[in-house]
Amino acid sequence: MKHVAILGASSQIAKDMIRLMAQQEDTCMQLYVRDLVPVQQWLGQLGLGGRCTLHLYEAYGQHEHDAVINFVGVGDPQRAAWMGASIFGITQQYDDMVMAGLMQHPHRRYIFLSSGAAYGSTFLEPAGPKTQAAISINSLTPQEYYSVAKLYAECRHRAHPELAITDIRIFNCFSRTQDIAARFFITDIVRAIRDNTVLQTSPDYMVRDFMHPEDFHQLVNCILNGPRRNGPVDCYTLAPVDKPTLLEAMQLQFGLQYEFVGTAATVVNATGTKPHYYSLNRQAEALGYLPVYSSLDCVTKETASILGRDIF
């Protein structure tokens, strides 16, 4: 039986992982959160109480586990903007917690949820195997705080090559459990469809890669079940999607109404404007990861479920 600790278990991406991992008969989960009651209610609604134990963060380290996944972070760009410099302390606090445990239990595996933002805030072209992180060190802006926090954590992890630490760089995820009130471009689209309003968006071209929860779950299992390693992997799907294609598909399938107004400056970009925010890195192939969904598959399938039109 494999015992997996999950920090930040109340986040949307963590809940998707928990729901899928609960189907694994060989896995028990320890969930760590700041507030027990909402997660207890969620587990009860899904009938997952018997597959998990629930703990406050203060209890981390008191129960043996084979691996730990650190989901603690910011999932909403608006919240990232509000948090500002506090993102540094929060990221390090929970990373320190896990690292202290690894020092005592070096056999343990650690998966840290990093971000494509660790490369920097420009993305004038997609990330690739030779892409270097770009930080404006002499004129650091609040939009770069999130990037620097993730980059710093990754650097700390590489400084311990003897430990099995994998940093998963997430670019974009989307699922039927997404908080539709969050300020993402894709949630703006879904709200416009749901409310029968006209989406106002800038004409700026961009490309995004939306990962489906099942593909993310597959990637995590490839890391947990594969050889011990210390290094990053970038998330990717069968294919990214550009903005015109996405808008046209959502109009055709769901009746999205949209119009182009203003510029990218009018959009919430807490970590910087990124025209090509996706990766061409394929390190995960060596671990056996083979994505099932394209970005457009993910968005249309999960949007259909959100809107109650799940015909897939």
Residue 132 located in a structural domain: yes
Cα–Cα distance between 255 and 196 in angstroms, integer? 9
- Burial group, residue 226, by CB count within 10 angstroms (0-12, 13-18, 19+): middle
Helix crossing, 86-104 with 145-158: angle to 10°?
Answer: 20
- Alpha carbon distance 235, 213 (integer Å): 11
Quick one: tokens of 130?
């030779």
Alpha-helical segments (H) within 139-212: 145-158, 185-195
Q: Which residues contact 140 (CB under 8 A, 6 or more apart)?
A: 148
pLDDT at 270 > cutoff 70: no
Lowest mean pLDDT among 89-103, 246-260, 267-281, 289-303: 267-281
**Residue numbers of the domain that contains 106:** 73-179+209-237+278-294
Is 120 within a domain?
yes
Structure confidence at residue 85 (pLDDT) = 78
Mean pLDDT of 8-16: 94
When divided into structural domains, the chain yields a total of 1
CA neighbor of 188 nearest in space, from 175, 201, 207: 201
The two three-digit tokens of residue 42, written as one number: 């969620």
Does residue 94 lie in a domain region? yes
Do 150 and 158 touch, CB atoms closer than 8 A? no
pLDDT recorded at residue 312: 45
* Whole-number Å distance between alpha carbons of 262 and 200: 9
Average pLDDT over residues 132-144: 86
Kindly tell me if the per-residue pLDDT of 80 is higher than 70.
no
Domain at 231, CATH number = 3.40.50.720
Beta strands 67-70; 109-115: pairing state: parallel
Query: Does any domain span residue 151?
Result: yes
| Higher-pLDDT residue of 298, 2 | 298
Query: Residue 144 domain-assigned?
Result: yes
Does residue 198 form part of some domain?
no
Task: Say yes or no to pLDDT of 213 above 90.
Answer: yes
Region 103-111: mean pLDDT is: 97
Radius of gyration of the CA atoms of the chain, in A: 19
251 belongs to a structural domain? no
Q: Domain for residue 82, yes or no?
A: yes
Of the chain, the percentage scoring pLDDT greater than 90 comes to 78
